[in-house]
Homo-oligomer: A and B are copies of this chain.
Amino acid sequence: MAAARRPAASRAGRGAVTIEDVAKAAGVSRQTVSNVLNAPARVRAGTLTRVQAAIEELGYRPDQSARSLRTGERRTLAYLAPVDSPSDPNPLMGGFLEALVDAAGDEGYRILLFRPSPGTLDSRPAIDEVIAGRQADGFLLADVLRSDYRVDHLVRAGVPFAVFGRTDPGLPQHWVDLDNKSAMRAVAAHLAAQGHRRVGYLGAASELPWTADRREGFRVGLRDHGLEGTSALEPLDPTDPADTVEAVHALLRSSQRPTAIAAASDMLAVTAYEAIRAAGLVVGRDVAVVGCHDIPLCRILTPALTSVRLPLRTIASGLVARLLAQIRGERAPGQGLLLPGELVVRASSSRVVEA
């Protein structure tokens, strides 16, 4: 057999089992095999099982390239990997990608990772490249800004896409987002329930929309429960811990020293831990702390950090569902999906404060 003669790379390249091989083995024509795969209803039961047996036997899978060329479907979704600043990588990116691969895989789609070519800031050429090369049926984006030129570009290109986050209304888009406001309201509610009256907020300074949303949500939460908020601080450079430490110290030194601090992210919360300790106070006893994102570290810290968990799998499947609905031309399952975060209460905020 020719196939057996080829030593290496035999299966991957030429010489792989084709639809013709299956047809021959099952004693039918190519077309019947194709029907078995794409329109089983048209095939008589007997033939069906016989062909399926042959497929199984030979380990046949349709060549994706051939199928794509014919149908125009790529069965691939392109994910634009965020230009992750090496200084502040997203520890959840790995988990999110896995969730994405699983969600897409459930629907028979694959995930193609792409990025702007190194050294380039503009993602548009990279997007155009994928479109022009017909490498994907649609696009997935994360970390979308209020006004995002990438979304703009995809809209113009007339290509299906879905985003995690969302721009200002005005641009048509299918999106999934964490309900940042409600999440932070819930944090405020939790702190109120624990008996806290004076609480501080440690915000991040970033153009990502959740920055403002979380602060606003927290503000509303304070009002809901008649809490007294020490001023919401905006460290200038969230990647510089010294800056954040200074901000926390300012909070702690204030005449109205808060008994709890809510941070806009877990990383900020960690810095708050350090600052609180440096001030001679004990986290969880003197000052409660709550973070956001629920990165793995939260469980490792002492005390373990209360945080808002991102429903990564739900986000991923929501994105895939919305994107596929467009690709298939179905009515979308609602254009946007606002997901609640899950408050995971741990030791950093579980002590009840006396009035």
- Give A contacts to B, CB under 8 Å: 7-14, 16-17, 59-66, 68-69, 72-74, 76, 81, 84, 86-95, 97-98, 101-102, 105-106, 110-115, 117-118, 128-129, 131-138, 157-160, 241, 245, 267, 270-271, 274, 277-278, 295-297, 299-302, 304, 326-327, 329
Contact = CB atoms under 8 A, between A and B. Distances in A.
A159 B11 contact: yes
A112 B115 contact: no
Nearest to A110: B112
A299 B241 contact: yes
B326 A297 contact: no
Contacts of A89: 91-92, 94-95, 296
A131 to B, nearest CB: 5
Nearest to A302: B274
A102 B119 CA distance: 10
Contacts of A10: 158
Please list the 10 inter-chain residue pairs (A to B) with the smallest Cβ-Cβ separation, ordered nearest first: A93-B94, A91-B91, A61-B132, A274-B302, A65-B68, A61-B133, A65-B69, A13-B72, A65-B65, A8-B158
Given A12-B160, A13-B134, A65-B134, 10 more contacts: A12-B136, A12-B158, A16-B132, A64-B133, A65-B65, A66-B69, A69-B69, A91-B94, A91-B295, A94-B97
Given A81-B101, A94-B90, A157-B11, A111 B110 contact: no
B65 A137 contact: no
Nearest to A63: B134
B16 A296 contact: no
Contact of A329 (B7, B95, B326): B7
A47 to B, nearest CB: 22
16 contacts: A9-B327, A12-B137, A12-B159, A12-B160, A14-B72, A16-B134, A63-B69, A64-B65, A65-B134, A81-B97, A81-B98, A87-B296, A101-B115, A241-B299, A267-B296, A270-B297
